[in-house]
Amino acid sequence: MAFGKALAVAAIVAVTLVVLLRTEHDYASTKIFSLKKGDIPQLGLGTWLSDRDEVAHAVEYALDNGYDHIDAALIYRNEDQTGKGIKASGLDRSKIWVTSKLWNSDHRKDKAEAAIQKSIADLGVDFLDLYLMHWPVAFVPDEGTRLDEGTSFVDTWRTMEDLVRKNYTRHIGVSNFARADVQAILDVCAICPYAHEFETHPYLQQQAFVDWHRAVGVEVIAYSPLANTNPTYRDKKGGLVGPIFEDPFWTALAAAKNATVAQAVLAWGVRRGTVVIPKSESEKHIDENRGALEIEFSKEDMEAVAKQDKKVRMNDPGKSWGVELFSDLDDPTELDGDDNEL
């Protein structure tokens, strides 16, 4: 039927337009990078270190004030409270993106299904949008951080693919992987990683790594997007880097945009095509961070920020676990070095 055909053509044109918009990476444009409908929202609320007594309100407040994406994890030990916030918000489940993460002690097949069931139950949802392997490191269940040499992260990926097949989660992904680790998954995946969540911010830009993900079709979720603002990162690297909120480059750039440093830093993260997930328990900060989506960055701004990279990693538990993490990336674990730990 002619009408059906016209509709099909219109659909193809629309899809092509969306794909073009999606793959365009033109820093010269002042438009915010657009994502496909149904894709992960560019701004999410982080919940690591969110106080159990505060997080429900923070989540509810964020969802009622323009956020539609929550970044949770079983190991944060507050998913039940996070779930209360989701439930209390006025948003329909279909309008919210919910991410959770498989902890290192739950990598074995018999543990992983129970772990995702617990996260789903605590978060009070029927399914997750994204489930991440929190680290490419397996611990022996119930034995602290003793490494489980018998369970590779490829084995665990297979297990996670089954979690998609069983409808527990729409997508699966990885977190804190080295590039070779991501490649090892890409080489064998039947259901391939939707996203990689890793530390990246103005002081650990990893631009080539970010670009590589775009080339292989994996979304980048930038964690600790406010660099060393997380209080557990203070005094890391012997004070080599001061607080980003006091960095003269960033205070000047923010002032020029009539924005706060937090807004400018988050806007840069969005502008380079990453998803940013700032954590906050404060209504004021939650509103302020939402405002980052309105701030524009020029090509010149992007080039100036690129020169400010300090290649300093804030979050590296590799030494305490006895694992060389981030081996092919900036600031890898140094097992015998005087490295930062969490």
Ligand X SMILES: *[C@@H]1O[C@H](CO)[C@@H](O)[C@H](O)[C@H]1NC(C)=O
- The phi, psi pair for 207, rounded to 5°, reads -60, -40
Run of H or E residues at 114: helix 109-123
> In the complex, what is the shortest distance from the CB of residue 198 to ligand NAP, in angstroms, rounded to a whole number?
7
- Is residue 231 within 8 Å of residue 201, measured between CB atoms? no
Tell me how crowded residue 126 is: count the other CB atoms within 10 A of its CB.
9
Q: Does 62 bind ligand NAP (CB under 6 A)?
A: no
Q: Does 258 bind ligand X (CB under 6 A)?
A: yes
Among 193, 202, 273, 278, binds ligand NAP (CB under 6 A): 278
Contact range with ligand NAP by CB under 6 A, out of 40-48, 102-110, 204-212, 251-259: 40-48
> In the complex, what is the shortest distance from the CB of residue 171 to ligand X, in angstroms, rounded to a whole number?
14
Distance CA 319, CA 213 (A): 26
Q: Which residue, 163 or 325, has its beta carbon nearer to ligand NAP?
A: 325
Closest CA to 68 of 32, 40, 26: 40
HSE at residue 2, side-chain half, CA atoms within 13 A, is 0
Tell me how crowded residue 112 is: count the other CB atoms within 10 A of its CB.
21
Residues labelled catalytic: 76
Q: Which residue, 133 or 292, has its beta carbon nearer to ligand X?
A: 292
- The phi, psi pair for 233, rounded to 5°, reads -95, -10
Q: Residues 208-227 vs ligand NAP: string with x where CB under 6 A?
A: ---------------xxxx-
> In the complex, what is the shortest distance from the CB of residue 303 to ligand X, in angstroms, rounded to a whole number?
24
Find the binding residues for ligand NAP in span 74-113 (CB under 6 A): none
Q: Which residue, 78 or 169, has its beta carbon nearer to ligand X?
A: 169
Q: Does 94 bind ligand X (CB under 6 A)?
A: no
Residue 115 Cα to chain centre, angstroms: 20
Distance CA 124, CA 118 (A): 10
Q: DSSP letter at 322? A: T
- The phi, psi pair for 14, rounded to 5°, reads -60, -45
Residue 277 binds what, of ligand NAP, ligand X, none (CB under 5 to 8 Å, by partner type)? Answer: ligand NAP
Q: Does 47 bind ligand NAP (CB under 6 A)?
A: yes
Q: Does 234 bind ligand X (CB under 6 A)?
A: no
Q: Which residues lie near ligand NAP (CB under 6 A)? A: 46-48, 71, 134, 175-176, 197, 223-226, 229-231, 262, 277-282, 285, 288-289, 315
Q: Which residues lie near ligand X (CB under 6 A)? A: 166-167, 258
